[in-house]
Amino acid sequence: MGIKQAILGLLSDGPVHGYDLKTEFEDQLSPTTKLNFGQVYTTLDRMKRDGLVGQEVVTQTERPDKKVYALTNAGRKELEEWLTEPTKLDLDLRNETFLKLMVARRVDWADPKRVLAVERRACLSQLHEMTQARAKAERDGAPVQTMLLLELALLRLEAFAKWLERCEAVLSQEDAQ
């Protein structure tokens, strides 16, 4: 995930404290992702080292001084490049369901179609839960970032369900031969 670039994007409006970057990331950009402070500050330190952000210490009267970070020209350039380049799609083919199917085909006492049935029930259950979550989010007037993430989850689940159907069809063809 482009956490570094997302932080650069949050800094594009002006200087921000690390704590506020964490909060804005979780509230405004990715409500399902939780960052820890160590991750935020480690990323900021690397970006400072690389010249993508500058740092300024702001004196506070009743609290300890705080560091605020600002986007540099190099940071803006990196952000622009990131926004204009296509994202590499996650096609990680290491999938446990796939492995279960391949093992079930090899083990004489296992039934790949039973594996598929279990996976399908779980997928349809998740699909139902996600559909309800999306409906609730719509009723509650959830922010657009929440709605888009729910839509992404639904489409992924639908694609997985379709793949499970395809697996069953291929296995049925294999049995018929």
Q: What residue ranges do the domains of the chain occupy?
A: 3-84, 96-176
Q: Is the pTM of this model over 0.75?
A: yes
How would you classify the pairing of strands 53-58 and 66-71? antiparallel
What pLDDT is recorded for position 1?
61
What's the CATH number for 3-84?
1.10.10.10
pLDDT digits (tens), the chain, 177 positions = 688 999 999 999 999 998 899 999 988 888 888 888 889 999 999 999 999 999 998 888 888 888 899 999 999 999 999 999 998 887 878 889 999 999 999 999 999 999 999 999 999 999 999 999 999 999 999 999 999 999 999 999 999 999 999 999 999 998 888
What pLDDT is recorded for position 147?
94
- Long-range CB contacts (< 8 A, 24+ apart) of 164-172? 164/97, 164/116, 164/119, 164/120, 164/123, 167/101, 167/116, 168/113, 168/116, 171/101, 171/105, 171/112, 171/113, 171/116
What pLDDT is recorded for position 7?
93
CB atoms under 10 Å from CB of 70, counted, come to 14
What 8-state DSSP symbol labels residue 86?
Answer: P
What pLDDT is recorded for position 168?
95
